[in-house]
Amino acid sequence: MYVFSIIVLIGLLLSAGFFLYTIYRLLWNAVKIPEKKPGLKLQLGRRIYLVIRNVFLQAKLFKDLGGGIMHALMFWAFIAFASYSSDFFVSAIFPGTNLLSGTFEQVAFFTVDIFAIIALLDVVYAFIRRWGIKIKRYQGYNGFEAWFILSLVGILMATYYVLSVLRLDGVSANIPGSIGENLAAANTPVSYALASVLPKVSATTGYYIYWTAFTIHAADFIIFLAYIPTSKHLHLFAAPFNVLFAKEDQAILKPIDFEKETRFGATDIRDFDWKDYFDFYACTECGRCTANCPANLTGKTLSPRDIIWDIREVVVAQGTEYRTRGGDRDQVFKTVIGEPILEKDLWSCTTCMACVEQCPVMIDHVSKIVDMRRSLVLNQGKAPREVIDLTRNIEQYGSPYTIDPSTRADWAAGLDVVDLSKTPDAQYDVLYWVGCVASFDKRNQEIAKSVTKILKKAGVNFAILGSQEKCTGDPARRTGNEYLADMMIKGNVETLKANRVQKVITSCAHCFNSLKNEYKDFGIELEVHHHTEFINRLISDKKLSVKSLDSDTLEKYTYHDPCYVGRYNKLYEEPRDVVKSFAANYEEMEMNKSKSLCCGAGGGRLWMEEKEGTLISHKRIEQADKVNATTVVTACPYCMTMLDDARKTTGREDKMKIQDVSELIAGRID
């Protein structure tokens, strides 16, 4: 064997050993520390689809087009290099031997030769993005790691070309112990072009250039391999698995079995499951989550990226301590709340799911944040004052308001609505779940009245639960009080069953999500429709005829996506179709559909004061103003409350209206 072969072999073994050992340590943490299970289902088809879509096709990356294209090309270059690098090391260690041959070799070399130049350009582009145009989300995060890894990639590609040119020129074939044989020009077009412009070198010079390039190339790869698992580049390994293991219902909360469980919510790293650990490991600190977080965008310190990354650092530190020294788990695993995760950051979250939607590697930030809220509320009774009041009201009155629950259906007085509290034996096809805000809040009662008018006009045989209806538990749930939520949900499930409810429509985005996605964990399967979806169908089925706008109207419409209708339930087109059924003058706001900006009310924030930074709702109303909208259409009483307030407090009362989809239609069907 040649000296170089031996050095490369030892280097590679050391590096691979270190790589595997580090991965082992990380997996050890994920297996030994958690005390909760993720409860994953097999769902093989869905998982294969996810891996193809989100790993091989890099689909979620393109939500940020520039960064997405850059990353996808780099990813594909890495795939291309996998076969080349294997071949390289086989030839380096056993000169004269090749892993690849025939057509496979030709294809592999062709792709690598093309992708190497793409990767090189990519590296330059990445440098420009981070240090040239200074894209905000990168700033302040592991600049050294980025610089180091980009340099490694750049050098790897550059030395690849040096070696290839020498191979094309026939220099390396004459060097004893080299990787080798001559390359065919047709298979390596970029290298061939380079060879044709670069001066030819003598055998001796070639010898030195070859071994220098070879050493750098091999060393680069060896360092890279060892570096991956200790840096944010662990995502090369962890992200594909994280996508593979992704839960079907991200940001959908799971119940707590209060009879069996003893640890409530997430206090320390024992309270995250092994899938959560993959979330931590897969994070690349790309910052797309934080760049789209409504709280962060309005000057609050909450950063979903930091939440994930900070816990990852705790996992690595406490995991190492526990693995090497063992000891009492209660001593080793200290709470993550307070330090490094600030309590106020946990309460700033609107659970809007923008972070989850954006994350290319499918991390679920929201359920972790709610889990930490659960820890505070359930274990310590700790919550902002307003949340405690909210909790008391839900407990005492079955709604977030200090209002006599027997008056819940007062909005329907004189509207001739079937109230199951008064006529329990009434026959009906659909239950209209009104929700607390539309039941008790003056402005939002208009939504309940409008929905009623529409359903009646379309001849839908519907009923309401009246005073039997109670808060779905969503505000309690999202503010961490699972105990109360559990009580509310179980109570409602009983009521729904007692009234033989099967089909539900609701005009509240939060009730909609709860009833549709979360009640099944409590033993009831319902067919649930959001009112926008239902109204859209009534229009397309010609059950409603909607008067179109006068052609000379100056009205201009835009639509604000409620998070729990859009991101949570993917209803983006239905509400828009309803608006466009009569209005031609329509324009999207800057942030729309899956990138829509939250109104600021989710996650129980409707009942909390927004003290830090500026108001999210103000930012949203400014976006609406930018497209000169005179009517902002929305589809959730929470959004209505926030935006209507923002409209007034920013002095836009005279030029802008906020309307629910139902109100728009109710006014055009007479």
Partner 1 sequence: MVDIIVLIKQMPDLEQVKPDPTTGEPQLKNVPLKLENLSENSVEEAVRLKEKYGGKVTAIIFGNEQSSAILKKAYAMGADEGHIITGFKGNNPSLTAKVLGEKIRALKHDIVILGNQSADSISGLLAGKIANHLGIPLLGNANSIEVSGSTVKVKRALEENNQIIQADFPVVISVTQEINEPRLPPVMQIMQAGRKPINTEAATLTGREVKVLSNKAPKSERKKMVFEDVDKGIAEIVKVIREESR
Do 126 and 209 touch, CB atoms closer than 8 A? Answer: no
Q: Helix/strand/coil (H, E, C) string of 102-162?
A: HHHHHHHHHHHHHHHHHHHHHHHHHHHHHHHCCCHHHCCCCHHHHHHHHHHHHHHHHHHHH
Least Å distance, CB 404 to partner 1, is 5
Q: Which is nearer to partner 1, 402 or 540 (CB)?
A: 402
∠ CA 399-403-408, rounded to 5°: 70
**CB 295 to partner 1: min, Å:** 23
Q: Which residues pair with 528 in a beta bridge?
A: 504
Report in angstroms the alpha-carbon separations of 552 from 237, 431, 549, 585, 625. 59, 39, 8, 11, 21
Measured from the CB atom, the residue of 230 and 421 that comes closer to partner 1 is 421
Q: Closer CB to partner 1, residue 71 or residue 477?
A: 477
Q: How far is the CB of 264 from partner 1 (least distance, A)?
A: 6
Q: Which residues lie closer than 8 Å to 197 by C-beta, 6 or more apart?
A: none
**Please, what is the minimum distance in Å from the beta carbon of residue 420 to partner 1?**
18
Interaction mask 251-280, partner 1, x per CB under 8 A:
-------x-----x----------------
Min dist. Cβ of residue 384 to partner 1 (A): 11
- Separation between Cα atoms, residue 659 and residue 664, nearest integer Å: 7
Binding mask 121-150 for partner 1 (x = CB under 8 A): ------------------------------
Query: Which span sits near partner 1 by CB under 8 A: 146-154, 159-167, 337-345, 390-398?
Result: 390-398
Residue with smaller CB distance to partner 1, 282 or 476 = 476
Torsion of the alpha carbons at 554, 560, 565 and 568, rounded to the nearest 10: 150
Residue with Cβ nearer partner 1 (86 or 396): 396
Q: How many residues bind partner 1 (CB under 8 A)?
A: 21
Site string for partner 1, 343-382 (x = CB under 8 A): ----------------------------------xxxxxx
- Using the rule CB under 8 A, which residue among 483, 522, 586, 607 binds partner 1? 483
254 or 382: CB nearest partner 1: 382
Q: Out of 383, 458, 501, 544, point to the residue binding partner 1 (CB under 8 A).
A: 383
Secondary structure (H, E, C), 406-439: HHHHHHHCCCCCEECCCCCCCCCCEEEECCHHHH
The pattern of x and - marking residues 431 through 470 that bind partner 1 according to CB under 8 A reads ----------------------------------------
Q: Cβ of residue 23: shortest distance to partner 1, in angstroms?
A: 38
Strand order in the sheet with 657-660: 557-559, 631-634, 657-660
| DSSP-assigned letters across all residues of 445-499 | HHHHHHHHHHHHHTT--EEE-GGG----SHHHHHTT-HHHHHHHHHHHHHHHHHT
- Using alpha carbons only, what angle is made at residue 151 by residues 145 and 156, rounded to the nearest 5 degrees? 130
Nearer to partner 1, 358 or 391 (CB): 391
Q: Which of 316-324, 383-391, 621-629, 649-657 is the region at the interface with partner 1 (rule: CB under 8 A)?
A: 383-391
Q: By the 8 A CB rule, do 557 and 593 touch?
A: no
Residue placing its CB nearer to partner 1 in the complex, 235 or 374: 374
* Residues 169, 173, 176: CA angle, nearest 5 degrees: 140
Find the binder of partner 1 among 388, 493, 526, 669 (CB under 8 A). 388
Q: What angle do CA 220, 222, 227 make, to 5 degrees?
A: 90
Residue 293 burial (CB count, 10 A): 27
* Footprint of partner 1 on 269-328 (CB under 8 A): none
With binding defined as CB under 8 A, does residue 338 bind partner 1?
no
Q: Does 385 bind partner 1 (CB under 8 A)?
A: yes
Residue that is written with structure tokens 């359903």 in the block? 455
Question: CA-CA distance, 556 to 359, in Å (whole number)?
Answer: 33
Site for partner 1 in 394-413 (CB under 8 A): 396-397, 402-406
Please report, as a single letter, which amino acid is at residue 485: A
Tell me: does residue 97 bind partner 1 (CB under 8 A).
no
Our CB check for partner 1 shows the closer of 234 and 383 to be 383
Residue 221 identity (one-letter amino acid): F
Kindly list the residues in this chain that would bind partner 1 in the complex (CB under 8 A): 258, 264, 377-383, 385, 388, 391, 396-397, 402-406, 481, 483
